[in-house]
Amino acid sequence: MLLVLLALALFSTLMLNMYNLVLDDAKIVYNGIIYTQGQKIADRYFQQIEAELLGSNPIKTFSEAYTAFSNFSSSEAINNTTYNINISSTYCDSLGNISYPDSSYMRIDVRINCISPAGDTLYIGTQNSPFSKVLFDIGI
Amino acid sequence: MNSLLNTLGATVVGSMILLMVFGALMNMQTLNYNMQQQVILSGIAENLLSGRTIAGVSYSGLDSYLSKVGAGVSASTDPIIEAYSSNFKFRGKLSPYSGISIIQIISKNPVNGIYPLYVYVDDMVNPVSGPFWLADPLNINYYDVNNSEIYSPNSNHNAIRSCKFTFNFTFETLRPDIDKRLVRYPTVVWKYFKNLYL
């Protein structure tokens, strides 16, 4: 009888550990959905900036776009998760380096963070590794 | 007598342990299955959105179709045919060498409580993609040049410059009573129609 009770205690520990591992896996899968959504938000702003620069009478000139996104913050609530968005624009060279800036080139950096339903803070594009795009003023 | 009682007690407790172990294994199996379905559903949804290549044949995604809104359409023709919350129909050239196509993205009436999503190109009877199953109808929001939402989009085609598409893809769960999180892939995509800015 004692042996059976000992077995019960041991199996319970094993089961708890296995559950924990499965739930960790689930967290990775569900956080992946949030990371993917964050990339789509970054893409939305890149699209917006590019579209507004288009045409012979653009919505924004190159310098206006630079000013509008030099220190832009916003938030977007999607599926009960609030994404905090920070965008910065920097004049740069054709490779995106800011050491020798040229006002014909602009690098847009997007950083997003949010708190997952599991309570983790997720960083989707960070200070050191933001989502970046280099734009060139073709002067049309 | 003592050893008989011990044996009976051990049998009862042992049976309970076995039941607990099998129950726990079943639960974990279901959680794993649902996670696997979640990963597959996410993959299918992303393939629909961004396109995929099967056996060397490329299939366009919604992103590619939506980038053609108004492409090659003359100024005298309305590039947008229908603009509703679950139905977007528009004109555009799919390639520089093709004629102008009519493309429709629509979620239709529910079947057993879930909504089929279809993509049609020119042939409005046989879809090029679909059905993909949505837990909620496709929801499209339309925005003007100032990124302000247009609340009667089908009466204001000229004002439309971008859209926000809200999808909630779904799969049946193996055992919804075990894993309360239903297999869903909710995602939101935006598309700025660059041809309409030119």
pLDDT digits (tens, 9 = 90+) for A60-106: 899 999 999 999 999 999 998 999 999 999 999 888 888 888 889 99
Which residue from B38, B195, B168 is spatially nearest to A79, judged by alpha carbons?
B168
Q: Tell me whether residue B56 is in a domain.
A: yes
Q: How far apart are CA A109 and CA A134, in angstroms?
A: 9
Does a structural domain hold residue B10? no
User: For chain A, what's the residue count?
Assistant: 140
Tell me the per-residue pLDDT of A10-56, one tens digit each, with 9 for 90 and over: 877 888 888 888 888 888 888 999 999 999 999 999 999 999 998 77
Q: How far is A51 from chain B (nearest CA, A)?
A: 5
Instruction: Look at chain B and report how many structural domains it folds into.
Output: 1
**DSSP secondary-structure letter at A100?**
S
CB contact under 8 A, A11 and B21: yes
d(CA B144, CA A114): 28
Q: What is the pLDDT of residue A46?
A: 95
Q: Do A55 and B197 touch (CB under 8 A)?
A: yes
The whole domain housing B141 covers 43-196
Q: Give the three-class secondary structure for B90.
A: strand
Average the pLDDT over B99-110 and give the result: 95
| Residue B180: pLDDT band with limits 50, 70, 90 | low
Mean of pLDDT over chain B: 89
Q: What is the pLDDT of residue B52?
A: 86
Which residues in chain B touch residue A33, judged by CB atoms under 8 angstroms apart?
42, 185-187
Task: Tell me if B162 and A29 make a contact (CB, 8 A cut-off).
Answer: no
Q: Which of B186, B189, B193 sits opposite A79 (nearest CB)?
A: B186
Predicted model pTM:
0.88
Distance from CA of A19 to the nearest CA of B (A): 7
Q: Is residue B19 part of a domain?
A: no
Question: What value of ipTM does the predicted structure carry?
Answer: 0.87
Chain A within 8 Å of B37 (Cβ-Cβ)? no
Asked whether residue B35 is domain-assigned, the answer is no
